[in-house]
Structure 1
Amino acid sequence: MMSLRGAIARLWDIDESAPMLQSDGQWLPWGYVKSLSERIDTELTIAGCAAGGRVAVVLANRTESVAALIAIIRGSRTLVTLSPLQPPHRLAADLEATAVDYVLAGEEDWCSTEFAAAVSKLGATGWSVDGDAVTMAAQGARRHAASAESAESGDDLGEVVIEMLTSGSTGPPKRIPLSRAQLEASLCAALQHNNRSDGSAQAPFAGSAAILTWPLVHISGMWGLLQALVSARRLVLFKRFNLADWHAAVKNHRPGLVGLPPAAIQVVLDSGIPPDDLASIRAINCGASPIEPTLVDAFRERFGIPILVVYGATEFSGAVAGWTLNDFRERWLEKKGSVGRAFPGVRLRVVDAAGELPPAGETGLLQVASPQSGAPSDEWITTSDLAHIDEDGFLYIDGRADGVIIRGGFKISPDTVVRSLRSHPAVSDAAVAGLPDDRLGQIPVGAVELRARTSVAAEELREFCRKTLTPYEVPARVYIVDELPRGASMKIDHRRLVAMLTDLTSGSDES
């Protein structure tokens, strides 16, 4: 099996002048990233963070995050991810909930009084990492995270490498501990699935560059970064997807395989990019949220590029099923809508409400058995996805069993949005549901009842939500209604809510 730490250690033998990472249009040599990683490692070691130490990192898409990840993995520590997409008060609360002893963040994060207060409350040691500077920003008590013996051994496949934040299902976000064994199993399965090598036989940082547009705090972004590091591929890192910059990167670097979410695929399709500019791309990997087969067909017709859909989750440290190029060429026309077949070493099945196996092709709750889950390989993990599997092993996702909204690959708990709307002084009650969206897959839409003798504009409610929600959680629309649809028990009738919001949205689109 591939060794994650061994692959990172192999980077230290590479010529330091080799271009390694492009950020903001500027190429940085491996020596720059290596030196920054070593400075981070030195600071952590001096502060007492040995093997097994948990380090919280505000993981923005920037060079400093890449260097921090390398230092943490190389030192057998645990990376605890913090999302920079959160409003300051939520980022501070999230940090406090981690109970870490060590924190790495950018200067602008430390300028937040709420963030600094959370670090102080933890009694943690923290550093501001900006450019090539690693500056102590908070002095905590010196701690020993692990014994010298465990620091030297580092052979435990069960060690937690990353604690990845995910929405998961309804309710507050949770952190998923991803072990070294899980990550290595995921990387190996993906390589076998696509009949690719781990890059060890190729000259490091010499081939085509990997283009990464996903946020590193999303499992797709993290997985893309790890894959680039393991295969020693040059990396073009975007802070966020931008059509003009992405187009230029593809023309310049001529990649054979790229990854894009459905929303970005739609943007590329709607653009005036000449097909010849994307001629190097053999296929596009697409995951994180559903994509309509009509979009796949339209993109292929315009650019001649297949879109290989994959299915996965943070809990499985990445993808567990997907299309191969051969499958797409041979089976797409008859299997449209599928997310492909199980990766090597992965078993899939669906069960009904009683836990029994229904006939092939019938919908049930999807279960996964794989080393990527961190559980024994014969243990079935139940997901929140409704699915069916046909007689040829092709998996189809039929919806969610937990009501979670997936907007452009990001999971949104309706309850979180409802709580934000209800906290407005003019709102008596609120309800939120996900409606279909051609670009993002789903969008959250809300309806509210107002308190007596109050008034507020719908757009004002959306702006109010921005103070407490991440940008992708803010409802795309809010409607003020006389009465929310309720059943006999006075609970919100979800089916009637969706129908009402669909009608309201249709009416507003026509007006």
Structure 2
Amino acid sequence: MTIFPDTLCVNGTVHRIKRLVQEGAQVCPPGIESDLIDFLTQWYGPENTITVHTSGSTGPPKAIFLKKTFVAQSAMRTLEFFELKPGQRLLLCLPLRYIAGKLMVVRALLGRLDLCTAEPTDGFAFLSQCRDTPFRFAAMVPNQVTKLLAYPERFEGLGALLIGGSALPATLETALQTVPTACFASYGMTETATHIALRRINGPDASDLFHCLRDICVGLSPKGSLTIEMPGLDQSAPIVTNDLAELIDSATFRILGRADNVIISGGIKYFPEIIEKKLEKAIEHPFFIGSLPDETLGHCMVLVIETMLDKLFEKKVAQLFEQYLDRYERPKKIVFKKPFKRTETGKIIRQL
């Protein structure tokens, strides 16, 4: 396998990589974006690494250097899992400044796929014209999928859809049960060159368990955080993530929540993400579970909701606590805050 093929098919036209790189981003052929040429220039450059940046959801974005062979192995695992074949169409609708968008290009290169491009903010109306020749594979973030759900018939233009970038809302997961596209949630991070595990969202194989891709093993740290072992890491020890997990075996796990989001109230440990899942179907505004100092409990749980203060709505939400939550899971206070701070990829920054 060569990770530097001579050609790349973009929007149905085969281009010679050398020419694209030599002409540079200033002279883009029709249908070729300058960001794509910039990445190809980096991929085919003399360095053995590419530079990527973390999302910034747990701190300032930082630069990471990934070996090209490591990135290529990640791309190959996806090609194998989804059984992607040369000539099939791949939909790129993610920004190329992030690793998820870059990996779509590498998959197209290594798999000899037809890389079809669309703006990340596109409404994807063109998918309605692709029912007879659907895109074999696409990757999106939850916000894009929510937009797509406004026109369910457009899913007929997608064979398989990978969803990542942030946690999948329960309402979105429920809505995807009726679409014909095979939908998968991903687990991974920039340091692992995107996903290391997938779980099926809809269909007969739907599950809340993630299954690792080839050659990847997981474990638990003494604190209960997921650890990852995979070939090509520039370190002898496994990656220790910030995600608390339940381990089924060395290749199967369930995510419980972020370690830095855990709330200890009255000596009891609570996972905000689990409580949020219970409320997602009932609260239409964006929200998260946070905490405030409390003289008696140490910390008390609060619901932070992205809307203006509304006393009637506040009473309604308090009733929802009684309907959906166990007694000790119920927040002691509701905080109204608008707008929430978010990362560039749309993740809510949990700040009171």
Q: With structure 2 as the length reference, what TM-score do the two structures score?
A: 0.68
Equivalence map 1:405-420=2 (5 Å) = none
User: 1: distance between equivalents of 2:123 and 2:75?
Assistant: 28
User: 1: distance between equivalents of 2:218 and 2:99?
Assistant: 20
Match of 2:97, SS state, is coil
User: 2: distance between equivalents of 1:442 and 1:402?
Assistant: 23
Larger displacement relative to structure 2 (211-220 or 311-320): 211-220
Q: Retained in 1: the 8 A contact 2:90–2:136?
A: no
Q: Report the CA distance between 1:177 and its aligned residue.
A: 0.8
The aligned counterpart of 1:352 is 222
Change (3 A) 1:169 1:367: farther
Q: CA RMSD in A?
A: 4.1
The partner residue of 2:175 within 285, 290, 298 is: 298
Q: Deviations over 1:136-165 (max 9, x none)?
A: xxxxxxxxxxxxxxxxxxxxxxx32x1111
User: 2: distance between equivalents of 1:307 and 1:403?
Assistant: 27
Match of 2:158, SS state, is coil
The aligned counterpart of 2:64 is 176
Larger displacement relative to structure 2 (258-267 or 365-374): 258-267
Q: Retained in 1: the 8 A contact 2:171–2:280?
A: no
The aligned counterpart of 1:387 is 245
The aligned counterpart of 2:140 is 260
Change (3 A) 1:273 1:485: closer
Change (3 A) 1:320 1:503: closer
Number of residues of Structure 1 aligned to a counterpart in Structure 2: 294
Which one has a larger percent strand, Structure 1 or Structure 2?
A: 2
Greater radius of gyration (CA): 1
Q: Retained in 2: the 8 A contact 1:183–1:372?
A: no
The aligned counterpart of 2:199 is 323
Aligned partner letter, 2:21: S
User: 1: distance between equivalents of 2:93 and 2:100?
Assistant: 10
Equivalence map 1:273-292=2 (5 Å) = 273-274=152-153, 278-279=155-156, 281-292=158-169
The aligned counterpart of 1:222 is 102
Match of 1:230, SS state, is helix
User: 1: distance between equivalents of 2:79 and 2:164?
Assistant: 16
The aligned counterpart of 1:101 is none
Change (3 A) 1:504 1:236: closer
Structure 1 position 37 matched with structure 2 position 36: no
Q: Report the CA distance between 1:321 and its aligned residue.
A: 0.7
Aligned partner letter, 1:322: L
Equivalence map 1:361-440=2 (5 Å) = 364-376=224-236, 379-390=237-248, 393-403=251-261
Match of 2:225, SS state, is strand
Q: Retained in 2: the 8 A contact 1:300–1:306?
A: no
Match of 2:302, SS state, is helix
Q: Report the CA distance between 1:322 and its aligned residue.
A: 1.0
The partner residue of 1:70 within 27, 37, 40 is: 40
| Structure 2 spans left out of the alignment, 5+ residues | 26-30, 263-275, 315-352
Q: Report the CA distance between 1:380 and its aligned residue.
A: 1.2
User: 1: distance between equivalents of 2:241 and 2:10?
Assistant: 36
Equivalence map 1:75-114=2 (5 Å) = 75-77=45-47
Q: Report the CA distance between 1:236 and its aligned residue.
A: 2.3
Change (3 A) 1:261 1:294: same
The aligned counterpart of 2:302 is 499
The partner residue of 2:10 within 3, 18, 21 is: 21
Q: Report the CA distance between 1:331 and its aligned residue.
A: 3.9
Q: Retained in 1: the 8 A contact 2:79–2:111?
A: no
Which one has a larger percent helix, Structure 1 or Structure 2?
A: 1
User: 2: distance between equivalents of 1:166 and 1:442?
Assistant: 27
User: 2: distance between equivalents of 1:246 and 1:401?
Assistant: 41
Q: Retained in 2: the 8 A contact 1:321–1:342?
A: yes
The aligned counterpart of 1:194 is 82
Q: Retained in 1: the 8 A contact 2:99–2:194?
A: yes
The partner residue of 2:73 within 181, 185, 205 is: 185
The aligned counterpart of 1:144 is none
The aligned counterpart of 2:273 is none
Q: With structure 1 as the length reference, what TM-score do the two structures score?
A: 0.49
The aligned counterpart of 1:416 is none
Match of 1:388, SS state, is strand
The aligned counterpart of 2:208 is 337
Change (3 A) 1:398 1:341: same
| Structure 1 spans left out of the alignment, 5+ residues | 15-19, 42-60, 78-158, 200-206, 354-363, 405-434, 448-483
The partner residue of 1:308 within 166, 172, 184 is: 184
Could you tell me the percent identity over the aligned residues?
Answer: 19
Q: Deviations over 1:292-313 (max 9, x none)?
A: 4553343232x23331222111
Structure 1 position 213 matched with structure 2 position 93: yes
Q: Report the CA distance between 1:337 and its aligned residue.
A: 2.3
Structure 1 position 163 matched with structure 2 position 163: no
Change (3 A) 1:243 1:311: same
User: 2: distance between equivalents of 1:392 and 1:165?
Assistant: 28
User: 1: distance between equivalents of 2:162 and 2:312?
Assistant: 32
The aligned counterpart of 2:112 is 232
Change (3 A) 1:507 1:351: farther
Aligned partner letter, 1:186: S
Change (3 A) 1:218 1:71: closer
The aligned counterpart of 1:420 is none
Change (3 A) 1:29 1:196: closer
Match of 1:210, SS state, is strand
User: 2: distance between equivalents of 1:73 and 1:225?
Assistant: 10
Change (3 A) 1:253 1:69: farther
